[in-house]
Amino acid sequence: MTGQPCLHLGQILTFDGDPFRDGLDVVRVDSAGAILVEGGTIRSVGAADTLLAAHPAVAVVDHGDALVMPGFVDAHVHYPQTAMIASWGKRLIDWLNTYTFPEEMRFADPDYAAAIAARYLDLILSNGTTTACSFATIHPASVDAFFEAAAARTMRVAAGKTCMDRNAPDGLRDTARSAYDDSRALLTRWHGVGRAEYVITPRFSPTSTPEQLEALGALWAEHPSCLMQTHLSEQTDEIDWVMALFPDMRDYLDTYERFGLLGARGLYGHAIHLHPRERDRLRETGAALIHCPTSNTFIGSGLFDMDGLTRAGHRVGLATDTGGGSSFSMLRTMAAAYEIAQLRGRSLHPAELLWLATQGSATALHMQDRIGALAPGREADFIVLDLASTPAIAQRSARARDIWEAVFPTIMMGDDRAILATYVAGKRHPRPGESA
């Protein structure tokens, strides 16, 4: 029961800061630690002996030498693309037209939207992801389906109706007026209800007229507590297309900035090919850049500059970008982020990768005071990670000289088999095949 206090014992991962800014020592693992969970909230974190002595009558779950850590936070996904993930062989614009738009048209059927929302959330929970920030489709029912499925699982999620009034097929276009009206109605219905947060969602500049961008900028100004999500500078041919559509703009970011769609609560997916002015403005405003590494390699977009952007002080989150991304797993996503950084001459430390997939993404979503870390007062969304889940991982981690050498093989080779348990608001979510 989520309301009954419970002590969870194991190797406990905690953060005392941002490892990119404050150094690696701020990420710690207590090899004999514990967290006290009650009422869906973490009440205390500390040494197992200390907490056991302080709470002798409390129920105990001993996870042995598994790593107890925050649930993964996926900062940029498209849940409607669940069924067409891993579709072969296209660049971004062709990929949208060939796979994405035909699939998204099916979400005019509320029953189909509900089925995919349920499937998507169960898939990510089995992979240890407890929060996701998702694009829906233009159909309001697709937003309702996602939030309803998340509420049934007590998940903290963010999502919004995707707005497009040009360069999309019939059946997937709205208007500037309907985008504003539908988004406002959904925002009123869902934002701050339970664990739901509404996100104002222009897909990207090529599929929105200036009038629609202006309308959504006005909506954001009226509701500044909302997040706003979109795409930015994913591929070079996309940038060329944007500049042809907006010849008077200084750069791609300017197509958002001119219409009130640049701000501290903005989430800009990909952000690979940025000009110096764009970098400066994104940093000045405190906007978040969302790195989608498996998507960037799968669709051939380019190499995100993690080192340069974090050194400059940018806020960065990590994401699968389902279904341009080729995996539902944040473990695989961390591995891809490591590989991309290697190609740019930077070896990301396991502590940095774990922070990006949890507290870093929570910070990008402005949820860092609620999720993303094991700390008193945070919501009890956490996972139990097996550091020897396969023979290949086990034989490598057995040679580890410290916790980071033990964790790294799971980051690089782990999958859903490494997720021993996923807890949402303090309650264990059943594994596939288990009864609730």
The Cα 152–Cα 314 span in angstroms is 35
Hey, do 6-71+373-429 and 72-364 end up sharing a CATH topology, with the first three levels equal?
no
The Cα 412–Cα 275 span in angstroms is 32
Determine the pLDDT at residue 62.
98
With contact defined as beta carbons under 8 Å apart, do 139 and 183 qualify?
no
Quick check: helix, strand or coil at residue 157? strand
- In this structure, the dihedral spanned by the alpha carbons of residues 420, 351, 294 and 191, taken in order and rounded to 10 degrees, is 80
Determine the pLDDT at residue 434.
74
Determine the pLDDT at residue 239.
98
Determine the pLDDT at residue 88.
84
With contact defined as beta carbons under 8 Å apart, do 286 and 41 qualify?
no
The DSSP symbol for 379 reads B
**Residue extents of the structural domains in the chain:** 6-71+373-429, 72-364
Cis omega (within 30 of 0) for bond into 323: yes
Cα distance from N-terminal residue to C-terminal residue, the chain: 12
Kindly report the number of other CB atoms within 10 A of residue 109's CB atom: 13
The Cα 225–Cα 220 span in angstroms is 8
The Cα 2–Cα 425 span in angstroms is 7
CATH number of 72-364: 3.20.20.140
The Cα 253–Cα 261 span in angstroms is 9
Residue where the block lists tokens 């009038």 = 211
Quick check: helix, strand or coil at residue 358? helix
CA 404 to chain centre: 23
DSSP codes of every residue in 86-152: T--S--HHHHIIIIIHHHHHGGGSHHHHHHHHHHHHHHHHHTTEEEEEEE--S-HHHHHHHHHHHHH
Determine the pLDDT at residue 1.
38
With contact defined as beta carbons under 8 Å apart, do 381 and 358 qualify?
no
Secondary structure element (H or E) that encloses residue 315, with its range: strand 315-318
Residue 248 phi, psi dihedral angles, 5° rounding: -90, 0
Determine the pLDDT at residue 3.
75
Tell me the mean pLDDT per 10 residues along the chain, length 436: 84 98 98 97 98 97 98 98 87 83 94 98 98 98 98 98 96 97 98 98 98 98 98 97 98 98 98 98 98 95 97 98 94 98 98 98 98 98 98 97 97 98 96 70
Average pLDDT for the chain: 96
The DSSP symbol for 25 reads G
Residue 126's alpha-carbon distances to 116, 383, 420, 429, in angstroms, are 15, 10, 9, 8
pTM equals 0.97
Topology of 6-71+373-429 in CATH? Answer: Urease, subunit C; domain 1 (2.30.40)
Determine the pLDDT at residue 95.
80
The Cα 228–Cα 231 span in angstroms is 11
